């Protein structure tokens, strides 16, 4: 299996909330963009939350809009081996240095985990003094929860 490398963090000094996924999908790695799979609900949910048409924007504009809203994006794993895009297929993962995030984001207070696999590092983030929230995954693989419920949970976490 090929060793895969994730994406760089999208973060600046304005970040007050960090959304942590597990590891980019094959579509995201191919595009070199977070949440690039067209059926992933991330951009739709965050767009509705911050009242910006993120899905209609090009990728650089999306990133600028979320950063202006105080939201940062990264993943818990820096590299891994994986066939396909499912979190369950992740093997031999190397974690990202999440403790270093405090240096680049002094206003950061809350960590929102995009799904259960990402939340495997919740205790580490709580030990660093962050409020941590596990959110329902925006992945198309998580079809068991209604969109309205996902949106409500994400909205509360990102704006609360």
Give the CATH number, domain containing residue 87.
3.40.470.10
Give the pLDDT confidence of 17-36 residue by residue, as tens digits. 999 999 999 999 999 999 99
Torsion of CA 104, 108, 113, 114, to 10 degrees: -70
Query: For position 60, what pLDDT does the model report?
Result: 98
| Parent domain of 63 | 3-159
φ, ψ (nearest 5 deg) of residue 121: -105, 20
Query: Does position 102 have pLDDT exceeding 90, yes or no?
Result: no
Give the pLDDT confidence of 103-148 residue by residue, as tens digits. 889 999 999 999 999 999 999 999 999 999 999 999 877 778 899 9
In the chain, % of residues over pLDDT 70:
100
Query: Does position 75 have pLDDT exceeding 80, yes or no?
Result: yes
Where is pLDDT greater, at 85 or 1? 85
Total domains in the fold of the chain: 1
Report pTM: 0.95
In the chain, % of residues over pLDDT 90:
87
Residue in 138, 136, 107 with CA at minimum distance from that of residue 119: 136
Query: For position 43, what pLDDT does the model report?
Result: 98
Residues annotated as catalytic (active site), given as ranges: 40
């Amino acid at each position: 299996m090929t060793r895969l490398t994730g994406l760089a963090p999208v973060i600046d000094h304005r970040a007050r909330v960090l959304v942590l996924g597990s590891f980019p999908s094959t579509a995201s790695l191919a595009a070199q963009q977070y949440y690039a799979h067209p059926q992933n609900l991330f951009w739709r949910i965050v767009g509705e939350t911050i009242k910006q048409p993120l899905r209609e924007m090009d990728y650089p504009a999306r990133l600028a809009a979320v950063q202006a809203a105080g939201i940062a994006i990264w993943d818990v794993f820096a590299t891994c081996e994986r066939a396909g895009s499912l979190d369950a297929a992740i093997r031999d993962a190397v974690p990202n240095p999440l403790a270093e995030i405090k240096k680049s984001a002094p206003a950061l207070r809350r960590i929102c985990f995009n799904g259960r696999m990402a939340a495997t590092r919740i205790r580490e983030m709580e030990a660093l003094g962050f409020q941590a929230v596990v959110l329902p995954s925006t992945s198309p693989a998580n079809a068991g929860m209604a969109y309205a419920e996902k949106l409500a949970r994400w909205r509360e976490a990102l704006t609360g």
